[in-house]
Each structure stands twice: as C-alpha cells, then as structure tokens.
C-alpha cells in the first residue's frame, strides 16, 4: 500500500506542479529534507490530492483559499501557478480570494490578490513568448 501511495503521490505532484518543478525541488539522497519531501509526496499528493472525490479544479480553489487565509504566501504562489494544470481559472481564484476576505481577513485576501495578479501576468508573458 505504501508503494502505491508514493507512486500516486509522485504522479499527482507531477500532474499538478509539472515535471520541471518536481525535478527542481527533488532532494538528493542524504539531504536533510529528503524525509520531508517523501512525507508530503505521500500525505499531500498521494492521500489528499490523489483522491478522486472532487476535481483538481475544486481542490485547487480550496488550497488557494486555505493558503491565503493562513498567510502561506510562498505556497500560494506555487498553487496559483498550478492553476494552468488544474483547470482553475482567474475567475475561480477571484472567488476563492473573495471568501478569504470574508472568512480570514481583508489583508490576507489583498495580499493574495497581489500575488495572483503577478503570477497571472507572468504566465501570460510566458504564453506570449511561445
């Protein structure tokens, strides 16, 4: 079962974040955060994101709202970039951040909107270069 969860977690992580991100953040053997990466691959990407009970889009919107609401803005940027793979639109991100404003506070939503605007502008620039 553990090997199946690890494989599912790895595949899900690659599907949502992309191969380049996964390779860039993969620890070399013996690196101090190797057990941490293994844990989040199994727990977050295998056990949670790997479930087929809701869509990647819905999971993405919930994750964005939670990260912004908790003030985890570096992770928020990563998950906003991932919307290109999850199917969550800019309008979906707006809706998630509107909920943050009401339920977690205006400053967190405001900062979340700033990050989202910056990330979507970057993604648009990258798309125009292709």
Q: Where are the domains of the chain?
A: 1-53, 55-130
Express as a percent the part of the chain with pLDDT over 90: 88
- Give the residue among 47, 43, 82 at the shortest CA–CA distance from 61: 82
Copy the structure tokens of residue 33. 């955060």
pLDDT in tens, 94-122: 999 999 999 999 999 999 999 999 999 99
Cβ 82 vs Cβ 60: under 8 Å: yes
CATH number of the structural domain 55-130 = 1.20.1290.10
C-alpha pair distances (Å), 124 with each of 15, 37, 93, 118, 130: 20, 30, 16, 10, 10
Copy the structure tokens of residue 96. 């998630």
pTM of this structure = 0.92
| Confidence category of residue 124, pLDDT binned at 50, 70, 90 | very high
Q: What's the mean pLDDT when you consider all of the chain?
A: 95
């Amino acid at each position: 079962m553990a090997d199946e969860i690890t494989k599912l977690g790895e595949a899900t992580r690659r599907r949502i974040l992309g191969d380049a991100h996964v390779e860039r953040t993969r620890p070399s053997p013996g690196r101090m955060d190797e057990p941490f990466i293994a844990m989040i691959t199994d727990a977050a990407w295998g056990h949670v994101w790997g479930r087929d009970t809701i869509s990647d889009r819905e999971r993405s919107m919930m994750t964005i709202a939670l990260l912004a609401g908790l003030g985890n803005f570096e992770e928020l940027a990563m998950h906003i970039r991932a919307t290109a793979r999850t199917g969550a639109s800019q309008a979906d991100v707006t809706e998630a951040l509107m909920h943050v404003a009401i339920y977690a506070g205006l400053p967190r939503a405001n900062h979340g909107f700033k990050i989202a605007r910056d990330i979507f502008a970057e993604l648009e620039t990258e798309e125009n270069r292709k």
